[in-house]
Amino acid sequence: MLRRKPSAVEVLLLVGIVALLAGIAMPIVQRYRETHEYPCYKRMNRLGLACFLYSTEHGGNYPENIEDVAQYVPDPELFVCPRSGDTPARGATTQELISELAVSPRPQSLAPGQRGKGHLSYIFLGRGMTQQSPPRAILLYERLENHRDEGINVVYLDGSSQFIERVEAAKLIAELQSGHNPPRAEKLK
């Protein structure tokens, strides 16, 4: 069987299709890399896991405050997003770490655009939650300012996490601030 050479039109068409697919894939790959390269994404996942461990040892109840999980993750770096302006607590013992975190200014108390100067970069919403709470309820999220207003990382009660783009993140934060956790899906569209 004889094989013919592809025509110039066929080659150009193939190159065009490959370029189009690359153009579509590159922003997705870039966003994935940025999301997973942010150290706070991994830090927040570890804090979410620590909250779950806390709940298994406390009758299914999540901690009242984020510093309550320091006994499970006594690394002060985990409580701080490197891009936030916050600094890790310097407690030499777990109890000192818990004490410093307890008196640290809460990120939600900062004005928009204000850089953090405390030891805690993430907003904790676990107070009053149990293992029976809705799985898509938000356990932890961060301020938009942490990532140059590009978006936020979020940890859900079911243990999953994701990076949410700026526009959707602003809607999500507004829902949370108005008392809707989990956020109403229709308000996030």
pLDDT per residue, tens digit, the chain (189 aa), is 667 888 888 888 888 888 888 888 777 766 665 554 567 888 999 999 999 999 999 999 999 999 899 888 888 999 988 888 888 888 888 888 888 888 887 776 666 656 667 888 899 999 999 999 999 999 999 888 887 778 899 999 998 999 898 899 999 999 999 999 999 888 777
Give the separation between CA 106 and CA 126, rounded to whole angstroms. Answer: 14
In this prediction, residue 86 carries a pLDDT of 86
- One-letter amino acid at 104 equals S
In this prediction, residue 112 carries a pLDDT of 63
In this prediction, residue 114 carries a pLDDT of 61
In this prediction, residue 54 carries a pLDDT of 95
The CA-atom distances, in angstroms, between 73 and each of 29, 54, 77, 98, 189 are 31, 11, 10, 11, 36
In this prediction, residue 118 carries a pLDDT of 84
With tokens 């999980």, the residue in question is 69
